[in-house]
Amino acid sequence: MNFNNASEDLTLLTPETALQALKDGNERFVNNLKLNRNLLQQLNEASEKKLPFAVILSCIDSRASAELIFDQGFGDLVSIRVAGNIINEDILGSMEFACKIGGAKIIVVLGHTRCGAIKGACDDVKLGNLTSLIAKIKPAVASIRDPATNRNSKNPEFTEKVAEANVRQVIASIRHRSEILRDMVEHNEITVVGGMYDIQTGSIEFYEN
């Protein structure tokens, strides 16, 4: 589905059509076919009432702006950005608010290729407060058994495996740690999916299982 303003059609959206709207938006982005939006008008409308249809948990990488890579406008997305797209109780609370109160239909945990935070976790970087953030990614590093050697940022195949594992573990953590979101998933009120954004091509591979 294509929405000139997804929030206008929020009541018609299901988790499945919300996912399709994001896929369609990314396809437009990759093909440089952005929808023609009156952004100032959207901003004015969103100032009165915002009805985001999707929550995107993504990395702080400057090349990974959710509104751009999904070709969405003002008020369409709740964009949560943190290095390594990790999860904590504050982010979980934000997701619960966006879905239970705000009406969002989908949560996307979006990793990206060549992620600096993932590389830092692979290299066991320690740097101030970043140390505790990277510690949240370390379980994903440990979950990748192969290769047994060259398990560092100089091995791109290894780091990309860790990036995917991190996305999947964050999804599992969302479902495990939030009773509210888990209940909404079980009642098909929302869906939680993962994806990997390729910073070279702009395309997103979704993990739907």
Q: According to the annotation, is 99 in a ligand binding site?
A: no
The yes-or-no verdict on residue 153 having pLDDT over 80 is: yes
pLDDT-above-90 percentage for the chain: 82
Q: Find the mean pLDDT for residues 169-173.
A: 98
Q: C-alpha angle with apex 19: 41 to 92, nearest 5 degrees?
A: 85
Q: How confident is the model at residue 51 (pLDDT cuts 50, 70, 90)?
A: confident
d(CA 9, CA 208): 23
Residue 165 tokens read as 């594992």
Domains and CATH numbers, the chain: 6-207 (3.40.1050.10)
Q: According to the annotation, is 112 in a ligand binding site?
A: yes
Supply the pLDDT for residue 50: 63
Q: Find the mean pLDDT for residues 113-126.
A: 97
65-81: pLDDT as tens digits: 999 999 998 889 999 99
Q: How confident is the model at residue 184 (pLDDT cuts 50, 70, 90)?
A: very high
d(CA 127, CA 153): 16
The yes-or-no verdict on residue 167 having pLDDT over 60 is: yes
Burial of 91: CB neighbours in 10 Å, binned 0-12, 13-18, 19+:
middle
Average predicted confidence (pLDDT) for the chain: 91
The yes-or-no verdict on residue 129 having pLDDT over 90 is: yes
Q: According to the annotation, is 61 in a ligand binding site?
A: yes
Q: Find the mean pLDDT for residues 193-209.
A: 94
Supply the pLDDT for residue 34: 81
Higher pLDDT, 85 or 36: 85
